[in-house]
């Protein structure tokens, strides 16, 4: 079995799309068989004490049947091997992934009944609207002869972005009398990555190389030689190609050209994924819209070849699984079904960050992170800003995607603006909500530009207007 710290797979190579895992741990379920054993022994002792030969004979027969059934149940479950295959580990929204589970009876006995069930995240199935949809059943009941094989095939359609755990597979069998029931977890899970939807942003002037409008850089990193801003006296060390010869000839002393700094240095997206901001009435639409907005902005800035980064207070599902693992220790079938699922703890005190950089793989990293991000109740946005401000480049536009803005959040963002950051807010909120005017006014009071997004249609035009700075 792979180590828990490495079990969540993040591979995206389609050439190695078929994944397999082998049989793992086992536990015996407490059943009525134990009660039958106790009752049989007590009646046997009673029969021997009272010299009731018929009762003694009947208890010998009963205990023999119990021993035989326990032996067969153990043999049937221990000699079954399983292999699961998944067609791929990444999928787009709306696509399907095929899962095949093959079991083999390596024992000497025919198994009269065998229940095979593949575990899926219950929340993804029960959520309205659901995040995933099944094509064919993931449960199979079969009779398996010695040396025979049986396969279970089903497909999953992914309706929303996410990081989904498929499996592990639960195997159950027992004797014909129902006295002994045993089950095992026979395969490890697969983890499917579904990146978020990307919406093209109308009016996003790619050729201007100015994401979200003009940005005044407070710390010049490099000069743009195509943009001459003026002339100054020559200083020792100035290169010869910066000499302004006309002014030099007119004045008789050396003068050098000065240049404007490049006015675009990309953007850093700050995504507020604290659970307090996403009320049940708007879920999961609001949180998914926030992720879609972040992915769309990252895509547009990346297309310009500019640096792009991501900071969020959400929870990374892959990071959580690496730390906490997925459990397959159980004592009852109900506990087994609960144990194989992804854990639900949602507290996080450390930010999830993709550093603001350029590069061909930068967008892919951000999309993978956005696919795995989950709501968390750990780190409020105001604390997130304080925690990460020192690692955010000052020459990049800071785009905060918020479902709400508390006074602490507005003050934190306003503080960044006063320190020289170019800050704008995309507010994922509905205008019919009573608090919209209050929240927007709170941000405007800090001198922060606010853009409202209620749906994907509004998202497409949210960057068409120029920012007033």
* Residue 336 belongs to a domain: no
Calpha distance 196→371 (Å, rounded): 6
Q: Are residues 243 and 134 in the same domain?
A: no
Has residue 19 been placed in a domain? yes
**Could you tell me which of 274, 266, 284 has the C-alpha nearest to residue 312?**
274
Inform me whether the pLDDT recorded for 241 exceeds 60.
Answer: yes
Tell me if 142 is assigned to some domain: yes
My answer on whether 176 and 239 are in the same domain is no
64 within domain boundaries: no
Looking at the structure, tell me whether residues 105 and 152 fall in a common domain: yes
Task: Give the containing element (helix H, strand E) for 286.
Answer: helix 285-303
For the chain, the residue count is 469
Q: Are residues 256 and 272 in the same domain?
A: no
CATH number, domain with residue 143: 2.60.40.10
Residues 21 and 159 in one domain: yes
The Cα–Cα gap between 413 and 445 comes to 11
Please state the rounded mean pLDDT for residues 187-201: 92
Within this chain, do residues 174 and 272 fall inside the same structural domain, yes or no? no
Q: Check whether residue 256 and residue 275 sit in a common domain.
A: no
Q: How many CA atoms lie within 13 A of 178 on its CB side?
A: 0
For the cut 70, the answer to whether the pLDDT of residue 201 exceeds it is yes
**What would the pLDDT profile of 49-87 be if each residue is shown by its tens digit?**
888 888 888 888 878 777 887 787 788 888 899 998 999
CB 155 within 8 A of CB 134: yes
Report the pLDDT value the prediction gives residue 325, as an integer from 0 to 100.
58
**Residues 288 and 352 both lie in one domain:** yes
Domain end among 176, 194, 212? 194
Same domain, 277 and 255: no
- Which residue in the block uniquely carries the two structure tokens 């000052």? 394
**pLDDT score recorded for residue 231:** 87
> Is 405 contained in some domain?
yes
Distance CA 213, CA 424 (A): 10
Give the gyration radius of the chain's Cα atoms: 32
Q: Are 132 and 158 in contact (CB under 8 A)?
A: yes
CA dihedral 34, 36, 40, 43 (to 10 degrees): 110
CATH number of the domain where residue 409 is located: 3.40.50.410
Both tokens of residue 218?
A: 């407070």
358 part of a folded domain: yes
pLDDT of residue 211: 46
Kindly state whether residues 307 and 418 are assigned to the same domain.
yes
Sheet holding 96-105, edge to edge: 80-86, 96-105, 149-158, 132-135
The answer to whether residue 148 is domain-embedded is yes
Q: Which domain does 429 fall in, by range? A: 267-313+348-460
Spell out the residues 6+ positions from residue 156 whose beta carbon is closer than 8 angstroms to its own: 96, 97, 99, 120, 132, 133, 134, 135, 164, 166, 192
d(CA 47, CA 114): 37
**Domain co-membership, 254 together with 275:** no
Q: What is the pLDDT of residues 318-364, one digit of tens each?
A: 877 766 655 443 445 565 555 555 455 555 567 899 999 988 899 99
Residue 418 vs residues 247, 387, 442, 446: alpha-carbon distances, Å: 38, 17, 16, 9
Query: Do 273 and 372 have their domain in common?
Result: yes
pLDDT mean over 149-166: 94
Domain end call among 194, 213, 240: 194
d(CA 146, CA 197): 48
Domain count, the chain: 3
Residue 57 lies in a domain: no
pLDDT digits (tens, 9 = 90+) for 415-463: 999 988 889 999 998 766 668 888 989 999 999 989 999 988 888 887 7
Supply the DSSP symbol for 262: P
């Amino acid at each position: 079995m792979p180590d828990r710290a490495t079990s969540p797979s993040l591979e995206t190579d389609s050439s190695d799309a078929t994944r397999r895992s082998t049989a793992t741990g086992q536990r015996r379920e407490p059943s009525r068989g134990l009660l039958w054993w106790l009752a049989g022994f007590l009646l046997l002792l009673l029969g021997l004490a009272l010299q009731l030969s018929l009762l003694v004979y009947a208890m010998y027969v009963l205990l023999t049947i119990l021993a035989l059934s326990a032996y067969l149940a153990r043999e049937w479950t221990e000699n079954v091997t399983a292999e699961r295959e998944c067609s791929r580990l990444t999928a787009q929204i709306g696509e399907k992934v095929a899962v095949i589970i093959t079991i083999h009876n390596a024992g000497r006995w025919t198994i009269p009944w065998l229940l095979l069930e593949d575990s899926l995240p219950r929340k993804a199935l029960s959520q309205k609207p659901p995040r995933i949809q099944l094509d064919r059943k993931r449960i199979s009941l079969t009779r398996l002869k010695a040396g025979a094989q049986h396969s279970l095939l089903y497909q999953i359609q992914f309706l929303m972005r996410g990081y989904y755990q498929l499996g592990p597979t639960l195997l159950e069998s027992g004797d014909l009398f129902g006295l002994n029931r045993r089950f095992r977890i026979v395969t490890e899970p697969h983890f499917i990555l579904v990146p978020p939807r990307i919406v093209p942003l109308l009016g996003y002037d790619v050729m201007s190389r100015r994401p979200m409008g003009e940005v005044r850089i407070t710390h010049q990193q490099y000069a743009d030689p195509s943009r001459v801003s003026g002339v100054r006296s020559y200083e020792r060390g100035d290169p010869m190609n910066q000499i302004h010869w006309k002014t030099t000839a007119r004045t008789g002393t050396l003068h050098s050209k000065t240049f404007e700094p490049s006015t675009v240095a990309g953007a850093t997206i700050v995504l507020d994924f604290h659970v307090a901001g996403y009320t049940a009435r708007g879920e999961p639409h609001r949180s998914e819209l926030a992720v879609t907005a972040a992915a769309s902005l990252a895509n547009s800035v990346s297309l310009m070849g500019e640096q792009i980064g991501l900071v969020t207070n959400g929870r990374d599902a892959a990071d959580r699984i690496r730390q906490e693992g997925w459990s397959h220790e159980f004592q009852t079938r109900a506990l087994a079904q609960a144990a194989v699922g992804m854990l639900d703890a949602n507290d996080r005190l450390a930010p999830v960050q993709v550093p603001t950089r350029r590069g061909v793989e930068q967008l892919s990293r951000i999309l993978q992170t956005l696919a795995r991000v989950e709501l968390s109740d750990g780190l409020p946005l105001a604390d997130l800003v304080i925690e990460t401000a020192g690692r955010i480049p000052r020459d990049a536009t800071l785009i905060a995607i918020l479902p709400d803005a508390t006074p602490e959040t507005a003050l934190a963002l306003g503080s960044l603006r006063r320190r020289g950051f170019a800050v704008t807010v995309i507010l994922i909120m509905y205008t019919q909500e009573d608090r919209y005017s209050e929240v927007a006014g709170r941000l405007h009071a800090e001198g922060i530009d606010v853009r409202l997004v209620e749906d994907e249609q509004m998202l497409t035009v949210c960057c068409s207007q120029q920012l007033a700075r």
